[in-house]
Amino acid sequence: QNIHLVAKWLSSLEKRLEQHSEGSHRDFRVFLSAEPAPCPESHIVPQGILENSIKITSEAPTGMHANLHKALDNFSQDTLEMCSQEKEFRSILFALCYFHAVVAERRKFGPQGWNRPYPFSTGDLTISVNVLYNYLQASSKVPYDDLRYLVGEIMYGGHITDDWDRRLCKTYLEEFIKPEMLEGELCLAPGFPLPGNMDYNGYHQYIDDALPPESPYLYGLHPNAEIGFLTQRSERLLRTVLELQPRDSSTGQGAVGTQEEMVQALLEEMLEKLTDEFNMAELMARVEQRTPYAVVALQECERMNALTAEMRRSLAELELGLKGELTMTSDMETLHNSLFLGTVPESWLRRSYPSTASLGSWFADLLARISELEAWTRDFSLPSTLWLGGFFNPQSILTAVMQTTARKNKWPLDKMTLQCDVTKKSREDFASAPREGAYVHGLFMEGARWDAQAGTITEARLKELTPAMPVVFIKAIPDDKQDTQGLYPCPLYKTRQRGPTYVWTFDLKTKENPSKWVLAGVALLLQI
């Protein structure tokens, strides 16, 4: 709706209420319902109305227990009795309620829960149950595939924009809605079997009696997922507190002095440690053959130059501003605040790569990336192991692996894929690059860990949130040579934010059903 019209209407409502406050019936009441405003500009309810009203908020329930009860509250005993295939209808309805509660509450785990947050609503659940009713009335057999498709791809899937989230939604339904559910062999979560045929109150009672206490296990996640999300929440709170600190001159001369000195010292240290830009003309001249690898190295140097040039420019400008030789602009103020708060300045991030690190770690990481590039551009031969996380564009080097193999073997590039073999060794054990493909170090796994002895993905250890992977051997093979049995297609992301930082998919060996790792949100990360 148009917010300006609403604001206008609210002010006339305020006047109308004032008029009716005298001489009206003593039981006269006005009820207003509103959604939370997305931003401060939308706070348009007049103060007079707010002060004179009793305010009641309806918070979304938290935890599986409350969410499952709330999902079931959308139905009644009449709903349970309306279908001729009563047993099937009740079982699938309860499974759908559990599915709805899981997908709605899983978002609290951040990117490990869903890559992007989605507005799943009770409407999705009630429509899914209507579809279930229509299908069961029309057919004597339960059309499991059709139901999973309609719920997973249309009712709920209609909200989903990320392919990995779509896979997750589909996997939940494959686990919850299948023929075994009618044979009493299905567990919705560890220790929580799908209940048999009960009446409406019986189902509510079953939730109270049988649902295990709240834990990530109820979502198919590892307990580490909770540690990760609570840590991030605490960090966000502390950062907000830090940003609220007073920073104007009224805090006393001493405080400001130390703040200026701190920023000045940091600024000088950064300018001193930043190395010279890469001399692109000289590098171009030194490249004998513009192999796919050499092209990637030159592109990376160009992007690094763009970033370090902006850093030098903005730091030198701020230094002059602090000395009083230049007037402080809003950009200089922003940079000053970032340095003081230890966050990476916006103008640097725009030319940089996705990162969740604080300024100190980010700068140390930047220097490490520069020295890797310096080593590589000395003779442009591929390093013995590649630090994939050190690239602005990791996809480019992975594509270069495929291009190099395609040219060597005269294979068509569009009919190729990357195969990922996890070695049992660490970076120090490799003296030279492989004849074909590349060794890659510096990957981490979230949601599970790699068992080097068994050569498979296995359950994570408690409190080890992102264990390091051994060196991975990446090589290109024709599509049709690819093995698909016993593999988990694992997404690789640049950071723990996941979502748009997606890089590639590596197939990793698993003894367990790959669906276990899908529900656990298992992914590889380039930085932690």
pLDDT single digits (tens) 469-496: 999 999 999 887 777 788 999 999 999 9
Per-residue CA distances from 347 to 68, 163, 204 (Å)? 45, 31, 54
pLDDT single digits (tens) 16-51: 888 887 888 888 888 888 877 666 667 778 888 888
The Cα–Cα gap between 72 and 76 comes to 8
Residue 379 — very low, low, confident or very high, per pLDDT cuts 50/70/90?
confident
The stretch 85-108 carries a mean pLDDT of 94
CB-count burial class (<10 Å; 0-12, 13-18, 19+) for 276: exposed
Residue 128 — very low, low, confident or very high, per pLDDT cuts 50/70/90?
very high
In this model, does residue 186 exceed pLDDT 80?
A: yes
For the ranges 52-61, 254-263, 415-424, the one whose mean pLDDT is highest: 415-424
Per-residue CA distances from 72 to 63, 77, 497 (Å)? 15, 11, 33
The stretch 393-410 carries a mean pLDDT of 92
pLDDT single digits (tens) 301-353: 999 999 999 999 999 999 999 888 888 888 999 999 899 888 999 999 999 99
The Cα–Cα gap between 339 and 319 comes to 12
pLDDT single digits (tens) 130-176: 999 999 999 889 999 999 999 999 999 999 999 999 999 999 999 99
Residue 249 — very low, low, confident or very high, per pLDDT cuts 50/70/90?
very low
Residue 252 — very low, low, confident or very high, per pLDDT cuts 50/70/90?
very low
pTM, two decimal places: 0.85
Q: Can you tell me whether residue 444 is helix, strand or coil? A: strand
Q: Can you tell me whether residue 285 is helix, strand or coil? A: helix
In this model, does residue 247 exceed pLDDT 80?
A: no
CB-count burial class (<10 Å; 0-12, 13-18, 19+) for 331: middle
The Cα–Cα gap between 107 and 114 comes to 6
The Cα–Cα gap between 122 and 126 comes to 6
Structural domains of the chain in order of their starting residue, each with its CATH number:
3-52 (no CATH), 64-223 (1.10.8.720), 258-381 (1.20.1270.280), 382-527 (3.10.490.20)
Q: Are 488 and 507 in contact (CB under 8 A)?
A: yes
Q: Can you tell me whether residue 417 is helix, strand or coil? A: strand
* Residue with more model confidence, 106 or 37: 106
